[in-house]
Chain A
């Protein structure tokens, strides 16, 4: 079965740039989306179709997807961005989530 791999944790200082990767075989040939999940809350879509931002999502969130890796970038990271982040893609017959990355803003 298809797998998406994310680093378990990423740390960033306030105001700096955080990058979270999601790796999977030929991931760049499918759309990737990204979700932010804070404790006790439902996931929230922050990036869809690799690089598009839903309305209401701050411009500091951006995404890219090429080759085997999709990347979520948060520029000027704020304390409120501390959360778990999951990538998602469609693989021929099922939706597949990445293992999740805990973003810590130190």
Chain B
């Protein structure tokens, strides 16, 4: 079945970077875009950016474009999201999701990132 499995929880110091992985299975990885979304506790989801898994093209939210890098490894069917210059406000659950027909049709289980000194 279609599945997105993310890497485990991370605890980082302010100013550090974090890299979260998202491994896809059950479908042709290069046929879909992967989105990255974060959700702070009690807040709405917030779109960060996406990658076309086929050609590697990316698009980032203006809010994050100076700090986020999304990449993919096609032989490994895995997408990555790296966020730099972390601050306490970046504490959130980070999700990857597959872009289906005008919607995010499959989500990873989420990765908790805690930024604390």
Contacts and interface: CB of A to CB of B under 8 A. Distances in A.
B66 interface: no
Interface residues of B, number: 21
B45 A94 contact: no
Interface in B11-47: 35, 44-47
Interface in B50-66: 59, 61-62
A43 B102 CA distance: 16
Given A43-B45, A99-B44, A31 B107 contact: no
Given A42-B110, A94-B61, A95-B35, A33 B104 contact: yes
Most A Cβ at <10 Å: residue of B59, B61, B102, B106: B102
Interface in A20-73: 31, 33, 35, 42-45, 48-49, 52, 54
Nearest to B45: A97
Given A33-B103, A93-B62, A97-B45, 13 more contacts: A35-B104, A42-B108, A43-B95, A43-B104, A45-B106, A48-B101, A48-B103, A49-B101, A94-B47, A95-B47, A97-B44, A97-B46, A99-B44
Interface of A: 31, 33, 35, 42-45, 48-49, 52, 54, 86, 88, 90, 93-100
23 contacts: A31-B103, A33-B103, A42-B95, A42-B110, A43-B95, A43-B107, A44-B107, A45-B100, A45-B105, A45-B106, A48-B102, A49-B102, A49-B103, A54-B105, A86-B44, A90-B102, A94-B47, A94-B61, A94-B62, A96-B47, A97-B45, A97-B47, A100-B44
